[in-house]
Structure 1
Amino acid sequence: MAMNDNLAREINMQAVPSPRQHPETQPGNVHIKKTVKRGITRLEVWLISFFGCVVFGLLVANITMAMQLSTTNRTTQDLDQQATDIQVVNENLEQNIQELSRYDRVYKIAKDNGLKMNEEQIRNVSP
């Protein structure tokens, strides 16, 4: 059996090469395929810059349009308020006209000034 053990050892030793026999497998000579990590290419930088500028321009345009819309809305509200104020003034003036043109008031003023009523010369004008 001792002889069989030595034979088995010799076969195992021949099957596994030792590092001294094959210089290719030594740790200093190991060839590892290196992957080169590249940064962003010039085209990618240009595209990112271009789209960044486009997005920035769109944001500026959006803010500008929002400001113009806000200004236009404010102007519209101011004009509506002015129209409402003018309408109130007109209604007040119409009410004053109605009060000043009452028949009894006109008749009293005529009487105070010595005027006489002549039915033939009276004309009714309706507004």
Structure 2
Amino acid sequence: ELAVYEKMPDGMKISHEGYTLVGYALYFYTYSTWEGRSLYMEDFYVMPEFRGKGIGKALISNVARIGKEHQCVRLNFSVLSWNTPAINFYLNKGAQDLTTSDGWHCFRFDGEALDKLAEEAVKQ
């Protein structure tokens, strides 16, 4: 419902077995100053008992197809360092680990750090 409200009905792809949701991919469009329109995959999950059956491949392939149909030049996402099965899945599909290849690090402001940063804007 939220995806339709936000005029992004394709913003989530799901896979189901009968009436059971077994996997999903949640993504949105972003923009790279240097390269153009991109996709960011915020969440990607397949229930453990359904892994190895092609569901993950189908989900991520459909996200990639949608990106290409909308002239996206890349699909970005993050993976926790301890999640080696996911890392191997993405590498086997041809993804690049930007931490090692390009030296990118992911950063975040949250909690008190976000509050403090926002307060600095008010003072200016």
Q: Same fold (TM over 0.5)?
A: no
Greater length-normalized contact order (CA 8 Å, ≥ 6 residues apart): 2
Which structure: greater helix fraction? 1
Interval of TM-score (by shorter of Structure 1 and Structure 2)? under 0.3
* Length-normalised TM-score, structure 2: 0.17
The structure with the largest alpha-carbon Rg is 1
* Length-normalised TM-score, structure 1: 0.17
